[in-house]
Amino acid sequence: MQKPREYTVIGLMSGTSLDGIDAALIRTDGADSLTHLGFITIPYADSVRDALRACLGRRVDNDGTVARAEALMTMAHADAVRALLAQTGVDAADVDLIGFHGQTIMHDAPGGFTWQIGDGDLLARETGIDVINDFRTNDVKHGGQGAPLIPLYHRAMAASSGLDLPVAILNIGGVANVTWIGADGRLSAFDTGPGNAIINDWTRQQTGAEFDQDGQLAKSGTFHNGLVRGWLGHQYFRVAPPKSLDRDAWHIIGDLVGMSAADGAATLTRFTVESIAAARDHLPEAPKAWYVAGGGRLNPVIMDGLRDVLGVPVHSIDALGWNGDAVEAEGFAWLAVRSLLGQPLSVPETTGCKIAVSGGRLHPAPGKTMRVG
């Protein structure tokens, strides 16, 4: 039997924390084969971050704000590709494909709407590499939540790591999401609730810093248990998965009026921790361990809180030899190959789509011919 072709792919991820661009270079067949070739993180310039922040929550672009931000962030992604290629010594002509997640500015799965901005044609022209973007729309069209999309990649990675299943792979970005992987390969996945975004917003409002570095602000405060318990009464936590959230689903910062910056950070951080713990009620079976990816794993207050409330081992995903910063970017590189081959990106167990569906839109680079299969 002929071995499936492997592709050299760049994955680009910019999460709802608005911190910057993760760019990963891998070689993969979009299934079991995966070689890590390089990774880089490029922080957003303040001008790009501010332009993107002005787009959050929009469903239409009636004044050109989104178009201007899209051009800026696409060019920033092109720069990230060039930086990654320079770091790895790989020529753009040797890269088959870019998986370009784009920047989510609005996600309303119950309303059948999701919007990740990013100009695939512009990125293909700038880099000379074929681009696939718009990964979520087709899932939503088929009744899915459009998120999370990385669980199939998590399962492939877990299989290669020989984990003692069942386990939970937790990603704490702007929003937190979990992938539960059973001993038989069964999956369950959903957004658990807030991640870093609301903590970042509070920290920025109170101190001017973009995020709570090492959880120092939260560590110096005391959380308000009554507020946390009240927020956990939100109906979202009672809804069975699949389910997903927009970055700005939680309008609760107003509840912190009169609270110190440190106590507010501590309270929001504890809410993230407790909402992740609440997700256990919706998992098919208790995980033997939790492995944490994303920026949240670098916050000791979050990690120590999770160890306190989950009652099983909680590790950074780096303990498996994975790069916890790169997982999402690598995942979209892997998904880009699957999109090119017409293979599923999501299944009913991960997003609630009616059937397993592929997705994504291909933007060919000028003058380049892709060989598929």
Mean pLDDT of the region 194-208 = 97
Q: Quick one: residue 215, left, alpha or beta (phi over 0 = left, psi -120 to 50 = alpha)?
A: left
Mean pLDDT of the region 225-248 = 96
CATH code 3.65.10.10 for 7-146+325-363: no
Q: How far is CA 309 from the centre of its chain?
A: 24
**pLDDT tens profile 147-195:** 999 999 999 999 989 899 999 999 999 999 999 999 999 999 999 999 9
The Cα 96–Cα 76 span in angstroms is 20
What residue type is 145 in one-letter code?
Q
What residue type is 62 in one-letter code?
N
Q: What is the CATH number of domain 150-320?
A: 3.30.420.40
The Cα 77–Cα 22 span in angstroms is 9
Taking alpha carbons only, the member of 156, 98, 256 closest to residue 90 is 98
Q: Would you give the DSSP letter of residue 220?
A: T
Taking alpha carbons only, the member of 239, 152, 261, 137 closest to residue 193 is 239
Residues carrying CATH 3.30.420.40, the chain: 7-146+325-363, 150-320
Pick 372 or 219 by higher pLDDT: 219
Q: Whole-model pTM?
A: 0.95
pLDDT higher than threshold 80 for residue 2? no
Mean pLDDT of the region 123-144 = 98
Neighbours of 65 (CB within 10 A): 14
Collect all residues with Cβ–Cβ distance below 8 Å to 10 and sequence separation of at least 6.
23, 24, 25, 81, 84, 95, 97, 98, 99, 129, 333
Residue positions forming the annotated binding site for ATP = 15-22
Residue positions forming the annotated binding site = 15-22
Residue 201 vs residues 45, 189, 358: alpha-carbon distances, Å: 17, 26, 34
pLDDT higher than threshold 70 for residue 139? yes
What residue type is 202 in one-letter code?
W
